[in-house]
Structure 1
Amino acid sequence: MIKTTSRRTFVKAAASGLAASFLEIPSMNASPLNLPIGLQLYTVGQEMDTDPAGTLQAVAAAGYTQVELSPLTKTSAKDLKKMLDDAGLKNPSGHYILPDLISTLHEKTHQFGQEFMVVTVPWVADPSRFKPDPQLGQIGVFIAIIKGLTLDDWKWNAEQFNKLGEQINKAGLQLAYHNHNFEWKSYGGVTGYDEFLRLTDSRLVKLELDCGWATVAGQDPVALLTKYPERYSLLHIKDFRKGFTPRTTLMDKDPGAPVPTELGRGAIDYGRIFAAAQKAPIRALFVEQEPPFTEMPALEAIKVDYEYMKNLKS
């Protein structure tokens, strides 16, 4: 179980590890942005649950030199830090759940020297107003909240992000938000994403653009990078098979629902996305492939993803 620490202790300790995370000189594994090719560990979540040390060694053997932590990891911070070090993997960013950051800041983050603390889903002031499916566990809570978000909820989230971002920013750290597709649901002509960006301080709250989910929502990542270049600091690189129907809902089962696939085998043209990203201050990027893995196991899929990234030209 991860112990908790005070905000003051957390931010001072976290700042001390920042330099090492981003001073690595890009080498043969550099992406089209001349950044190391990273992996979001959610991609190998099942493997991390059963054999975290072996999985991280396999990630490194595939060519990746840095990873982004998933909020669903079951390994203690102390053990995970040692496993990352043993595998030679840097960890400049991690995913977190907003209520965890509001209530307490975990020891986990400052142990890794992360620069970016990325929130993956919005929250609400009173979660009890939702009735999640108990069979889905924690994911059911997220799904219920996502489906029931109002524009006022997005305004509340913006306020929370600004407050938290200021605390984190004072220590030289950076808060960011990672999109899925539901952010572009329209509320009388206004999307949650636009409202969130309008109300958050661009200095305190950066963005991790998940290019795959944005595309599923019917958005063009190139247009987003062009419209808000100063907001984007991180990229998620994923693909979906051609032929999906754009949508702002998750976990759909209809014939037009998006189906994940390996990079280069789907609908998304990353050459033009990386060309647009040249104008944004991108600090790190992470491959993330959504389950299920239907063509090959996850540890094989990440090799295909890595080779695509290594050979891609913007």
Structure 2
Amino acid sequence: MKNTLFALLTLLTIGSAEAQKKVFPQTPGMVSYTYRNSFSKNVAATLDTIKALGITDMEFSNLFGKTAAELRKLLDERGMKCSSFGVGYPDLQNKLAEVGQNARTLGAQFVRVAWVPHKGPFTLDLAKTTVEDFNKFGKQLKDEYGLTFCYHNHGYEFEKYENGTLMDYIIQNTDPKYVSYELDILWTVFPGQDPAALLNKYPNRFKLMHLKDLRKGVVGNLSGGTPVENDVALGTGQINLPAVLKAAQKAGVEHYYIEDESPSIATQVPQSIAYLKGLTD
């Protein structure tokens, strides 16, 4: 009996240790943009494809011809959810009420914007206007709809400013009560920044994350653009994903979404999921 009990305790201890070693114990979500071509043809079938991968948490940045209610029905029927709703900057400026209502209908907790309109390099004046806008958008979305506003970086915000960057300026001057962030790790590494360091510097400001990897050998810049073929399966590119994920867990990131802009998602997405599942410390 003692030997049996000892063996059982040993197995439980080993199992527990194995679970603790997982760097990413969660199941990732998915950004609709990854499957944009498929969604534009058949929303229901595309949701089935994503669900078959074991993914139920979605970030939509397009309704793909559906109303928010129609899309919500398709999600509910599959036991899926939309936790974040991405919109364009003009939508927030001109029809924020519609954005808030659509997000609520979808069941989202977050409203995200991924691009601040600008021509040429991003400037301090633009950053100041951006801060004013973000605080205003965030307050209205929180007060009127109970939603959390997030800004998704895209690379151009890392122009140097004082001892840091304009991204630092934006984070430091937006109200944490109303403005949070989604860290796109490719668009952090591409302009030469360290995503793990950014997470460590601003704990609890980043609520969402785009999981991506950047092809080895690609040298970035501050343009906010690179060919989609430079999105590669997680773990095959140049980003130190274990370090980023460990920092993200400590920093309070709540939702992680796979985003793969490449034309190779049929092979790369399953590869990325397997990489995350197998990542141990």
What band does the TM-score fall into relative to the shorter chain?
0.7 to 0.9
Would you say 1:304 and 2:274 are equivalent positions?
A: no
- Does the 8 A contact of 1:244 with 1:258 survive in 2? no
Whether 2:153 is the aligned partner of 1:182: answer no
Deviation at 1:305, TM superposition (A): 1.8
Aligned-residue offset at 1:72: 6.8
Number of the residue aligned with 2:111? 117
Report the counterpart of residue 154 of structure 1 in structure 2. 127
Q: Which of 46, 51, 62 is matched with 2:42 structurally? A: 51
Q: Deviations over 1:173-216 (max 9, x none)?
A: 21110011111123677632122112211221001111111011
Q: Which residue of 1 aligns with 2:6?
A: none
Deviation string for 1:143-191 (max 9, x for gaps)? xx25354321111111011012112222432111001111112367763
**C-alpha contact (below 8 Å) 2:180/2:206 kept by paired residues:** yes
Distance 1:73 1:219 in 2: 33
3-state SS, counterpart of residue 242 of structure 1:
coil
Aligned partner of residue 214 in structure 1, secondary structure:
helix
Q: Is the 8 A contact 2:235 2:275 kept in 1?
A: yes
| Alignment root-mean-square deviation, CA | 2.3
Structure 2 residue runs without a partner (length 5+) = 1-18
Deviates more, 1:107-116 or 1:218-227: 107-116
> How many pairs are equivalent?
257
* 1:204 equivalenced with 2:178 (yes/no): yes
Report deviation, 1:39: 0.4
Q: Larger radius of gyration, structure 1 or 2?
A: 2
Q: Indicate whether 1:39 and 2:30 are aligned.
A: yes
Q: Which structure 1 segments of 5+ residues have no match?
A: 1-27, 124-144
Of residues 220, 226, 233, the one that matches 1:262 is: 233
Q: Which amino acid aligns with 1:287?
A: I
- Structural mapping, 1:16-165, within 5 Å: 32-71=23-62, 73-104=64-95, 105-106=97-98, 107-123=101-117, 145-147=118-120, 149-165=122-138
- Residues 218-229 of structure 1: pairs in structure 2 closer than 5 A: 218-229=192-203
Give the direction of change, closer, same or farther, for the CA distance of 1:212–1:175 in structure 2 (3 Å limit).
same
Is residue 241 from structure 1 mapped to residue 215 from structure 2 by the alignment?
A: yes
Are positions 1:168 and 2:162 aligned together? no
Q: Secondary structure of 1:273's partner? A: helix
Check conservation: 1:118, 1:176, Cα contact below 8 A.
yes
Amino acid paired to 1:308: Y
User: How far has the Cα of 1:278 moved from its partner?
Assistant: 2.3
Deviation at 1:240, TM superposition (A): 1.3
Amino acid at match of 1:45: R
What's the offset of the Cα at 1:88? 2.1
Give the Cα separation in 2 of the matches to 1:187 and 1:83.
Answer: 46
Structure 2: which amino acid aligns with 1:309? Answer: L
For 1:42-64, what per-residue CA distance to the aligned partner results, in whole angstroms no more than 9, with x for missing partners?
01101100111101100010111
Q: Deviations over 1:91-117 (max 9, x none)?
A: 111111122122223232111111111
| 1:35 Cα deviation after fit | 3.5
Q: Is the 8 A contact 2:116 2:130 kept in 1?
A: yes
Contact 1:65–1:88 (CA under 8 A) maintained in structure 2: yes
* Helix, strand or coil at the partner of 1:226: helix
Q: Which has the higher helix share?
A: 2
Q: Please, what TM-score do these two structures have when normalized by structure 1?
A: 0.75
Report the secondary structure of 2:210's partner residue: strand
1:275 aligned counterpart, secondary structure: helix
Distance 1:221 1:235 in 2: 10
Query: How far off its partner does 1:36 sit?
Result: 3.4
Name the amino acid aligned to 2:126.
Answer: D
